[in-house]
Amino acid sequence: MQPVFEDTRLAGIHQKVLAGERLDFGDGLALYRTRDLLALGYLANLVRERLHGNITYFNVNRHINPTDVCVASCRLCAYGKKAKDPKAYTMSLEQAWETAGSGWSEAVTEFHVVGGLHPFLTLDWYCELFRGLKQRHPRVHLKALTMVEVGYLAERSGLSTLETLRKLKEAGVDSLPGGGAEIFSERVRRIICDHKIGGGEWLRIAREAHSLGLHSNCTMLYGHIETDEDRVDHLLRLRALQDETRGFMAFIPLAFHPENTPLCHIPPATGFNDLTNIAAARLLLDNIPHIKAYWVMLTPRIAQVAQRFGADDMDGTLVEERIYHDAGATTSRSLRRQELLRLIREAGREPVERDTLYRPVTRAGTTLAVLA
């Protein structure tokens, strides 16, 4: 029996989804403008289950933020501090290596390393950091530095971004996280992050990373001053780059947390908004394999529901999250593997622990997801 769509614009999209046809800009706007959230979720879930069946991925990772000192003063950010701020911190290399080894590091398969744009830390310092991490934890995948940090390090070292990426890869970087993309619209960037590289630059550096065989993720920051058109434009620009490179592994929609930022007057995103973004992304990004429901930002509750609205990943254990917590996130800073398993199973999905490249993690021939 054909489902009946309250919002007639979704009926046409349903036909395209069934035929595996690509959605266009107008379809994207219809996805963002519908109030028939359950129909939207139904459509996104069709695609999600076609791609991943009943599996929900998660990983055992650790965030390392070596410094919160940042020369940029982005209005969206509650994390970055000026070097002279007494509350600012910068780890020494030894501290960063020690941080990596602390916590529940025995099963960690990924270090997620990002931080501020520090005025004095050099490309050589970062290369030493990564070499030291690899030496101490040779089996742990290094997902490190956003396109924004790469652009800044290139500028400061006088090298091209391609050469900078080459050096980082030589030092042990295995892939790049998806942060810093925000919203590609220049009008919006001028207001929320005018000190950052432009959207075109972000995409150019991602293209270069992919050309070197470095995979990356990609993100979009929503829930501030962007329009529906800005969101669809952002997603379609990511999709166009993915057609070229196939280098993106996962897309992560990030809800803006206004607390402690200069944009604190903006009301925070709602659950309706969160689920709409997950579903619209799944439907528009037909060439990006995974959609992550980042539980820290969404709350574990919404991240669970998102597994029925297009998401197939929950991100990981994190151990110590700082960026969202400085912006007032009230979620925990970490989740144990057992808790992630419970959340996923309760949502009726089958948990699979993955590494950064989405290969199932095995230990002595048994998947860790099964062991736990």
- Interaction site with ligand V47 (CB under 6 A): 76-79, 146, 177-180, 182, 217, 219, 221, 252, 254, 256-257, 261, 294, 315, 323, 327
Question: Given the complex with ligand V47, which of 41 and 179 has the nearer CB atom?
Answer: 179
Distance from the Cα of residue 144 to its chain's centroid: 12
In the chain, the N- to C-terminal Cα span, in Å, equals 40
Question: Given the complex with ligand V47, which of 242 and 261 has the nearer CB atom?
Answer: 261
Question: Given the complex with ligand V47, which of 52 and 292 has the nearer CB atom?
Answer: 292
| Least separation in angstroms between CB 56 and ligand V47 | 15
Q: Which residues of 11-35 are buried (b: 16+ CB within 10 A; e: fewer)?
A: eebbeebeeeeebeeebbbbbbebe
Give the SS3 label for residue 251: strand
Question: Given the complex with ligand V47, which of 28 and 180 has the nearer CB atom?
Answer: 180
Question: Given the complex with ligand V47, which of 23 and 255 has the nearer CB atom?
Answer: 255
Give the SS3 label for residue 188: helix
With beta carbons less than 8 A apart as the criterion, state whether 324 and 297 touch. yes
Cα-based torsion angle of the residue sequence 288, 293, 296, 298 in order, rounded to the nearest 10 degrees:
130
Q: What is the DSSP string of 10-68?
A: HHHHHHHHHHTPPP-HHHHHHHHH---HHHHHHHHHHHHHHHHTTEEEEE-EEEE--B-
* Residue 187, CA distances (Å) to 32, 193, 199, 344 in order: 20, 10, 11, 39
| Least separation in angstroms between CB 272 and ligand V47 | 18
The two structure tokens encoding residue 187? 């009008």
Question: Given the complex with ligand V47, which of 228 and 259 has the nearer CB atom?
Answer: 259
| Least separation in angstroms between CB 182 and ligand V47 | 5
Question: Given the complex with ligand V47, which of 74 and 368 has the nearer CB atom?
Answer: 74
| Least separation in angstroms between CB 26 and ligand V47 | 27
| Least separation in angstroms between CB 166 and ligand V47 | 21
Question: Given the complex with ligand V47, which of 12 and 328 has the nearer CB atom?
Answer: 328
Max Cα separation, the chain? 65
| Least separation in angstroms between CB 103 and ligand V47 | 17
| Least separation in angstroms between CB 307 and ligand V47 | 17
The two structure tokens encoding residue 186? 């220049």
Give the SS3 label for residue 281: helix
| Least separation in angstroms between CB 57 and ligand V47 | 12
